[in-house]
Amino acid sequence: MKKHHRKIFILIVFVYVVFSLYAAYNVFFNTKVVTRVHRVVKKITVATSGGGVVAPHIGDDVWNPWEDEQADALSALHKQREAFRQYQERIDKNRPKRNKVQIWGKAAIGLYLWEHILEGPLNPTDIHTQWREGEIQVGKIDFSFYTGPAVIQGHVPLDTDSVVLVLNGREQQKISYATRWLQHVQTLIQFHAVNRVAVVLLGSERCTNDWISPYLRRHGGFVDLLFLVYDSPWVNDKDVFQWPLGVATYRQFPVVMPNSHMVSSTRPFLCNFLGTVYKNSSRETLMGILKQTGLDKECITTGREKYFNMLCCHCQALYQFTIMVFSPVFASCLSQ
């Protein structure tokens, strides 16, 4: 029994010794066989004194059997992203370009421009609010309008480089105020915040508008376009245009929606004048001319010698009805 156990023990020791010798041989003497499948060949540049040479290098990186598939997937993804980018560029190129224009209304004629011509909304609707604004899209232009006593230099949120400034230049006090706004816009231009400027100006009835001349681009200024209320020898329909005074918005004159009947129908009167006739004024001269030529019989003329802030209900109704129904507005600039 003992001899049997001894043989088993000797056999185990013999197997252990043989395995140990085989392992030692593989570690120290046998050359490791690496197939081409397991090789990762890299090219590195070996710096030499005469320059760089490219030599193959066999690295010991772990083989990734999905390496080619991943490379193909990344290449396909890159092509898809490039195709999408080119598609977006074509869409942006073909998309109609929209322009933004801000209108800063610092004169009452700004309300006529916004509400009666552009037919834009105003919020809040209360006319006594210190700050009112509105937005409207007309064709490819997005207009935004700001008006009210609280609209001051440097506090209007500027999101465009095109600005229309509505100013009052009828008397010296108004001119001084308008000049400060022009100087503010000039500063914005110097800092490249604004590039294009137009001015809608309530000018002088006596055509004394020389104060704004230095601001016009043709005289070295920055105002590209000038829309001028009342006639002027400057009007050339290129950079200076005549602009209507419009209606007395402070009298809550309604917004008139145009229709074909208003344009094509025959009017029973040639013109109208309803307003205050001041002594030694152009209005007094106009009334005299109408009487001398007999045009007063072809026009509706109602004059008064004193100005009133508030109209009676009858006078206001007559004023609105006359302009809307009986005749075109021949002297709307004198109807205040």
> Does one domain contain both 236 and 135?
yes
Q: Which of 171, 168, 199 is nearest to 185 (CA)?
A: 199
The whole-angstrom separation of Cα 252 and Cα 320 is 10
3-state SS, residue 299: strand
Same domain, 238 and 299: no
In degrees, rounded to 5, the angle at the alpha carbon of residue 99 between the alpha carbons of residues 98 and 103 is 145
More confident residue, 239 or 205: 239
> Do 248 and 320 touch, CB atoms closer than 8 A?
no
Please report whether residue 61 resides in a domain.
no
205-235 tens-digit pLDDT: 888 899 999 999 999 999 999 999 988 899 9
- The number of beta carbons lying within 10 Å of the beta carbon of residue 304 is 11
User: Do 245 and 263 fall within a single domain?
Assistant: no
Is the residue at 171 inside a domain? yes
Q: What's the pTM value of the predicted model, to 2 decimals?
A: 0.63
Identify any residues that bridge with 40 across adjacent strands, giving them in sequence order.
59
Q: Is 40 a residue whose pLDDT tops 50?
A: no
Q: Express each pLDDT in 115-160 by its tens digit.
A: 989 999 999 988 889 999 999 998 889 999 999 999 999 899 898 9
In terms of Cα–Cα distance, which of 221, 116, 108 is closest to 167?
Answer: 108
Residue 219 DSSP one-character state? G
Domain that holds residue 314: 259-324
How many domains does one find in the chain?
2
* CA angle 194–196–199, rounded 5-degree value: 110
Q: Are residues 110 and 218 in the same domain?
A: yes
